[in-house]
Amino acid sequence: MFETTLPLEGLLVVDMSQFLSGPYCCLRLLDLGARVIKVERPESGDLSRRLYLSDAEIGGDSTIFHAINRGKESLALDLKDPNDLAALRTLLARADVVVQNFRPGVIERIGLDYNAVRALNPRIVYASITGYGKEGPWVQRPGQDLLAQSRSGVMWLNGDDAQGPVPFGLAIADMMAGATMAQGILAALVRRGVTGEGAHVETSLLEALIDFQLEVLTVHLNDGGRLPSRSARRSAHAYLAAPYGVYPTKDGFLAIAMAPIPKLADLLGLDALAPYRDDPASWFNDRDDIKTIIAHRLAERSSNDWLSILEPADIWCAKVLTWPELLASEGFKSLDMLQTVSRADVSIRTTRVPLRFDGFRPKGDQAAPKIGEHSAVLRREFGL
């Protein structure tokens, strides 16, 4: 198979971040071809090495650390040591990109804020990720995913109406901020290619979550400030009418997206939906009653039975898959989204970048590094 040159090959990224947002951003740059050197504390390293999502650890580190830091090189530096700090400055003078997610004020105390690094390297693209930006009353609050979700309003879009706020089941603030920052870095690199100038790119967990809600927030801002109203039953989107939702079947669950109620009533054999057939306004206003009727009917048969009826009629629907079901599906297998990465002591199955270039999906083979695994080699290479 032809393997194309990746877009960021030849670029050097210094990852001074930890936990998820910054490291995820750097992982995406690595998947696009960049070389990523992860700067960590000696002995303890990135704090996410001990951030266990379950009781699973691999080679002494959490699985989440392995997932988010595969393929990187680790340089152990004590930034309180003047010699190590000088070594880092030498490295930054050679870098194309640096990513940091220290709390506001910390990087200035270290002496590696944007202006200081720009003086060393005017072409550098300097990326800063915070919890809540540089100003305002939340600046010094912990920039943690659940707390950012709480402040963003996003929790009121999930779950049924009586449930109260429901957080997402994964770190969406961190992942969205990392993806947003990767976009900003790429744009700054394009501008640098045109003008030769570096840039300071900034985002925060809160800004990423606000942008994540652009669709529904725009409705709120232009709809008299009315709050979204979640369905009391089978809620999947606060602003969408029935039948939009997830329904239990005899052997699992079935998701149904946008579908005209008359057509769905005929396919499901539901005379009880007759009062709503010719009243599209009721599909939203009476969505709880409509969803209750649909739910009782769908529970009578299996998911595959209903799919055999609904899909040929072009009703937008899907079986709700568990992870084992997803991994066993031909739809998943055809994407070739898994890879195995390894180092001397471990071998790990993980995901691949969700992009292709010239028909080729990049694939790596290097696992996340041990703390300072590449320190000696990097010091020789860069004269640190």
**pLDDT tens, residue by residue, 355-383:** 999 999 999 999 999 999 999 999 999 99
pLDDT at 269 (0 to 100): 96
Burial zone of 167 (CB within 10 Å; 0-12 exposed, 13-18 middle, 19+ buried): middle
What kind of architecture, by CATH, is found in domain 245-328?
2-Layer Sandwich (3.30)
More confident residue, 54 or 189: 189
Average pLDDT, the chain: 94
Q: Is the pLDDT of residue 336 over 60?
A: yes
- What pLDDT does residue 339 have? 96
Domain range annotation of the chain: 12-212+337-382, 245-328
Residue 1's pLDDT band, with cuts at 50, 70 and 90, is very low
What residues contact 274, with CB distance under 8 A and at least 6 apart? 265
The letter for the amino acid at 229 is: S
> How far apart, in whole angstroms, are the C-alpha atoms of residue 304 and residue 324?
17
Mean pLDDT of 159-167: 90
Domain 12-212+337-382 CATH (choose: 3.40.50.10540, 1.10.10.60, 2.40.128.720, 3.40.50.300): 3.40.50.10540
Q: Which amino acid is at 165?
A: P
Higher pLDDT pick, 77 / 3: 77
pLDDT reported for residue 192: 97
228 or 122: which carries more pLDDT confidence?
A: 122
All residues at 6 or more sequence positions from 184 whose CB lies less than 8 Å from its CB, including other chains: 127, 201, 202, 203
pLDDT at residue 2 tops 50: no
Helices (H), the chain: 21-31, 63-69, 82-92, 106-110, 114-120, 145-152, 172-195, 205-212, 214-221, 261-268, 282-285, 287-298, 303-310, 323-328, 330-333, 375-382
Whether 51 has a pLDDT exceeding 90, the answer reads: no
Please report which confidence band the pLDDT of residue 273 belongs to, taking 50, 70 and 90 as the band edges: very high
DSSP 112-137: -SHHHHHHH-TT-EEEEEESS-SSST
Gyration radius (Cα) of the chain, Å: 25
pLDDT of residue 14: 98
- Retrieve residue 58's tokens: 């691999």
For position 316, what pLDDT does the model report? Answer: 96
For position 54, what pLDDT does the model report? 66
- Nearest Cα to 66, choosing from 380, 301, 340, 298? 340
- pLDDT category at 239 given cuts 50, 70, 90 is confident
Q: Which residues are CB-contacts of 204 (< 8 A; sequence separation ≥ 6)? A: 129, 130, 131, 132, 133, 143, 177
Whether the pLDDT of residue 157 is over 80: the answer is yes
Name beta bridge partners: 36.
13
With cut-offs at 50, 70 and 90, classify the pLDDT of residue 3.
low
pLDDT of 215 reads 92
Q: Which amino acid is at 18?
A: Q
